[in-house]
Structure 1
């Protein structure tokens, strides 16, 4: 309790937390709405998966670059710029929707732009979390950030589905614009200024060194292996929730929104429990176990065929994601040397971005086998991958993790 009170007593931590909450509500709202709209226009599970894939592509392409670049700029300024880009994108989508010109390719471009901003979140906003609270309170800070993020996974899809059903396609994007504008106001109030590091060499050389860091630092390779598995075989399954909700469970847009929010509710509960209970020696077990639970419960979700059991399965998906997400940035931040943390978080973003291959894999399987069967299969693949890579992610923890 003291740790939580201490973290919340830092004004800039509260502001960074608020920015993350507002952006996450808008992100999950947009992902749900875009998935529903694309399915309604095309009835293509592949194109639905492609929209999320396009959000991941910039992470894979630019994640390491963003980690290097974040050390060379003032992070507060970078955060404000990121928020303005998202606000403009939401405004354009709302305008196109209201004039009846919104097309799938517009949503694709907006998803790609959103992915660039999302890829910068770890080396910019999450790095600022550690800077304002200190490494010794990073686990608590990230756990609370995950609580906020997963509260948004309840609010975002529920708001998106409800507003889409009641007011049409443009209204959810107007709400996104309002959320991004509020986040800009919170970011402008930040007093923290990061240390701008001088270049150590060319950007390409620093990017190469960033990947070398992962191989050289004890324990970090295992963190990245679990991240890759989660993003290749776990996270893509979420893109099929709008499809399975409409096609197999026969739900409308508002029902799909509520269903999609269930994993957020589970993650909120899981992350709230982690804040007071987590101990450094448990970090890796919680991390890998959360990924396994996430994959396994998506298998159940895909196969049950009834709304209530499907909702319960997604609730447990969320509990698993809370364990994984709370430990992910914490393990990277506490394992990497202080001067290399931003670049390590950039590599983490790149590993997350490689999940686009998982979305492509799932989209192709869904077109061939159907969304439910494909979702169950990719979840099984994730569980098998965790078993086969056990020797890497069960590495002994480093002194920094103790």
Structure 2
């Protein structure tokens, strides 16, 4: 080894300086994104339209969700089983047809699909509002609407989720997903509280459905006014056989996709029915009326909104946050089920919401970043299948447990099963990963032997 000459040293000094300068610039940029860029996605014209329309529509949707639950309880005399059936019907189509919805999102332009889906949802809300206002509404009407909404959501949800990156790009995708969650949970704060007040003031749930029908104009208008030239739309995937199997194989072979999807599958089985549990706890355990039930739902949403805003400051999701949030959500579920007084129950709903939204935003962003553009629709179809498809299992189960042992038992058991599910997701990922690697090595060895 020769000694470094003055020439070498002279060249090395600028190189070191350049490396240090680049490192400082990268650190400064990351710090800037973390500190001052919480709302950076809103600089994008198309995303601003999407976000504003989403806030309006989400408020209406949460008002309708609250009214729907209250209407079912009124029509059935407070039946937890009927409420569980309603939730199950709304999410059952995702379990059966969610993969096909993701495939359609890859095959066709996403903006026209979203406009059509939102229009159909608005028509359903209008129909249910007219039936309720005229006094003709029956439980089977609510069930039919819930099932129809579920069928539309099979296409709308994976399309909407995978459309975000076309507006903001990969760099701002985690931020946009977190802002979407913030918008969703801001509506979750305002919607149930407003619905509770209006149900009490107007003497019924019918006007709430009509307000929601009107709110769809916001998101449809935003989609229609977008600038096509500013969308980074990938080439549609041509129709071919085996595309569903290809999507499943793509996920199974990638632990960075498989692990969050499995974890969300276990967590969402009980998180999707947590709103139902709030209604049962408020009404049957603490004897609260409609306005107090709306307050409980809003407290849960306050926590979720806070968690979403914290997620908006992060530049990339982490596995530690994903797992920690999932375990925390299960533990806080148990705590809410054991709460002795209503004010204490309301306070516990806030960290429960923070924990749940940490799981959802981390998993959603991580899965989308890890998926290739031509596979993103199918991957998000699988993700949304497990995200919403667990409700047809979890909701009736918790409804049945609540009928037998009371709402507290349902919430506590749901929390315990959530924690167990986190461990199961981690173990399954390791087992499937080992088998996948073994299969790849076997194929490679066979190919080498053939040569």
Whether these two folds match at TM > 0.5 is yes
What is the TM-score of this pair, normalised by structure 1? Answer: 0.92
Match of 2:346 in 1: 311
**Mean Cα deviation higher: 38-47 or 112-121:** 112-121
Does residue 95 in structure 1 map to residue 130 in structure 2?
yes
For residues 280-325 of structure 1, give each alpha carbon's deviation from its aligned partner in whole angstroms, at most 9, with x where no partner exists: 3x52222222222222212211221321111111111110122012
Q: Cα distance, 1:380 vs. partner?
A: 0.9
Could you say if the C-alpha distance between residues 9 and 279 of structure 1 is closer, same or farther in structure 2, counting changes exceeding 3 Å? closer
TM-score (norm 2): 0.83
Question: Per-residue deviation at 1:372?
Answer: 1.7
Unaligned stretches of 5+ residues in structure 1: 397-402
Offset at residue 68 of structure 1 (A): 0.5
Q: Distance in 1 between matches of 2:149 and 2:376?
A: 23
Distance (whole Å) between structure 1 residues aligned to residue 191 and residue 366 of structure 2: 27
Is residue 237 of structure 1 aligned with residue 271 of structure 2?
no
- Of 165, 179, 186, 2:215 maps to 179
Q: What is the count of residue pairs matched by the alignment? A: 392
Distance in 2 separating the partners of 1:295 and 1:210: 30
Aligned: 1:252 with 2:289: yes
Name the residue aligned to 1:60.
95
Higher CA-based Rg: 2
Give the RMSD, CA atoms, in angstroms.
2.0
Matched, 1:160 2:195: yes
* 2:279 equivalent to 1:226: no
Greater relative contact order (Cα < 8 A, sep 6+): 1
Q: Is the 8 A contact 2:325 2:356 kept in 1?
A: yes
- Once the two structures are superposed, residues 350-375 of structure 1 have per-residue CA deviations (whole angstroms, 9 ceiling, x without a partner) of 11232121112112212222222111
Which residue, 312, 335, 339 being the options, matches 1:275? Answer: 312
Instruction: Tell me: CA distance 1:128–1:2, structure 2 relative to 1, closer, same or farther (3 Å).
Output: farther
Give the secondary-structure state (helix, strand or coil) at the position aligned to 2:272.
helix
* Distance across 2 between alignment mates of 1:71 and 1:234: 28
Runs of 5+ consecutive residues of structure 2 not aligned to the other structure:
1-34, 434-451
Aligned pair partner of 1:209 in 241, 246, 257: 246
- Report which stretch shifted further, 342-351 or 115-124: 115-124
Alignment of 1:320 onto 2:355 = yes
Instruction: Specify the alignment match of 2:186 in structure 1.
Output: 151
2:104 aligns with: 69
- Quick check: 1:39–1:243 contact (8 Å CA) kept in 2? no
Equivalent-residue separation in structure 1 for 2:306 and 2:388 (angstroms): 27
1:256-294 Cα shifts (integer Å, max 9, x gaps): 011111111111111112212x243x5222222222222
Q: Does the aligned pair in 1 maintain the 2:263–2:426 contact within 8 Å?
A: no
Q: Does 1:25 align with 2:59?
A: yes
Contact in 1 for aligned 2:178/2:311 (Cα 8 Å): yes
1:191/1:394 CA distance change after superposition, 3 Å? farther
Cα deviation code 1:145-201 (max 9, x no counterpart): 111111011111111111111112211111101211222212211223634514241
Within 2, Cα distance between the matches of 1:21 and 1:112? 24
Distance in structure 2 (CA, Å) of the matches to 1:244 and 1:83:
32
Distance 2:321 2:429 in 1: 11
Distance of 1:13 and 1:136 partners within structure 2: 14
> Structure 1 pair 198/325, CA: closer, same or farther in 2 (3 Å)?
closer
Q: How far apart, CA to CA, are the structure 1 residues paired with 2:354 and 2:122? A: 31
> 1:201 is paired with a residue of what secondary structure?
coil
